[in-house]
Structure 1
């Protein structure tokens, strides 16, 4: 399990233990963290699970795929550290991961 800190746009923090093998998005949905809608259920077919990965963790979350890059074109306020949380698999190496939600999804 990894402890992941989800930070809402207004600064509200949610520290959640997420099981290895799940995605960061699944951890948020299963724990009712507001700000991650996940309309497509994790199929990388929308951009409603958009998060900003804390800069210190970018190297540990893996590379964006071409499909993820394409879906981020539909997200609002994309930054260099933008990711779709459905594409980040939780592992012990992500213990302490911090992600922030944008003000709007989609």
Structure 2
């Protein structure tokens, strides 16, 4: 079992350095839910299918990440508060290469 460290800034601006397992096929959205860093029902509403953008986050470090899929790109093109470093947390599966990754949860869409 191999854990890495990921820093997540929640929607209130608080930073949380959390342990992220690399052997459970988890993604950033699931990690946020596991550590309860967003109120229930405000993140991962579609269940991680890249269909809602409720798990949008800003990647604040230069880590090798999986290429954006067409579905992720399409969802972000319709989302609010999108920046150049926006990604959907449900599409970022945790890997050892992400050790030290820093992400910030995008504001909740209203």
Normalization by structure 1: what TM-score?
0.88
The runs of at least 4 consecutive aligned structure 1 residues that moved more than 4 Å come to: none
> Which of structures 1 and 2 has the bigger CA Rg?
2
- Where do 1:53-92 residues align within 5 Å? 53-57=59-63, 60-92=64-96
Paired residue total: 104
Instruction: Give the aligned CA root-mean-square deviation in angstroms.
Output: 1.7
Q: Which of residues 22, 27, 31 is equivalent to 2:31?
A: 27
Looking at structure 1, the residues matched to 16 and 89 of structure 2 have their Cα atoms a distance apart, in angstroms, of 15
Compare the two structures and name the one with the higher helix fraction.
1
Unaligned runs of 5+ in 2: none
Aligned-residue offset at 1:81? 0.6
Unaligned runs of 5+ in 1: none
Normalization by structure 2: what TM-score?
0.85
